[in-house]
Amino acid sequence: MSENLAALRDKIVVVPDFPTPGISFKDLSWILADPVTLGITVRAWADAARPEAPTMIVGVEARGFPLGAALAYELGCGFVKLRKSGKLPRAVHRREYALEYGTSALEIHQDALTADDRVVIVDDVLATGGTAAASVHLVRETGARVISLAVLMDLTFLEGRAVMESLGVNVHALIDDEGNPYPHP
């Protein structure tokens, strides 16, 4: 698997000082734009998550939407959105959180999941873990169980993985911040 994952590194575009000075933004758009690397990504996550018997994939706005829906299709699961503030039309659970740059808030429809659901959360990058932790809390507020977090890249120096471990959530990350594949996502 790690041989395939090495193909992801060539698709990473690093954008210095975006969206604010000092942030090294990892643009992973080319991984989605290439059917080969998109397929590698989705199959690697599916192989890691299948033994966890998930029923629902929850995608974090915005890059978690296409990636999460593709994973849901691959696993035969449903797909649910975690949206930024004010976008969902019905009753929501809401959580504010700190980002590597600034603050934000996420919402989920209160009736989006049930207590029977076993959830994998999907996003492109794990940085400080603030977004992922807010996502875990929101999914839990619906009564569903969070099994794992699937991300393309783990910015290891920001230690988001430790935040997830403290919440009892597995992390399936495919590459580190230098694009090196993890042997066991």
Backbone angles phi and psi of 133, in degrees to 5: -65, -45
Selected from 23, 32, 38, 167, the binder of ligand AMP by CB under 6 A is 23
Backbone angles phi and psi of 116, in degrees to 5: -80, -10
Query: Is 63 part of the annotated catalytic residue set?
Result: yes
Q: Report d(CA 152, CA 179) in Å as an integer.
A: 10
x/- track of binding to ligand AMP for residues 70-109 (CB under 6 A): -----------------------------xx---------
Selected from 71, 124, 135, 149, the binder of ligand AMP by CB under 6 A is 124
Which residues fall within 8 angstroms of residue 45, CB to CB, at 6 or more apart? 71, 74, 120, 122, 150, 172, 174, 185
Q: Report d(CA 100, CA 134) in Å as an integer.
A: 14
Asked if residue 161 binds ligand AMP (CB under 6 A), the reply is: no
Asked if residue 32 binds ligand AMP (CB under 6 A), the reply is: no
Query: Is 100 part of the annotated catalytic residue set?
Result: yes
Task: Considering the candidates 83, 100, 107, 161, report the single residue annotated as catalytic.
Answer: 100
Length of the chain: 185
Identity at 4, one-letter amino acid code: N
- Minimum distance from CB of 7 to ligand AMP (Å)? 19
Question: Helix axis angle, 2-9 relative to 35-49, nearest 10°?
Answer: 140
- Minimum distance from CB of 56 to ligand AMP (Å)? 19
Task: Considering the candidates 63, 83, 95, 161, report the single residue annotated as catalytic.
Answer: 63
Interacting residues toward ligand AMP by CB under 6 A: 23-26, 60, 63, 99-100, 123-132, 155, 160
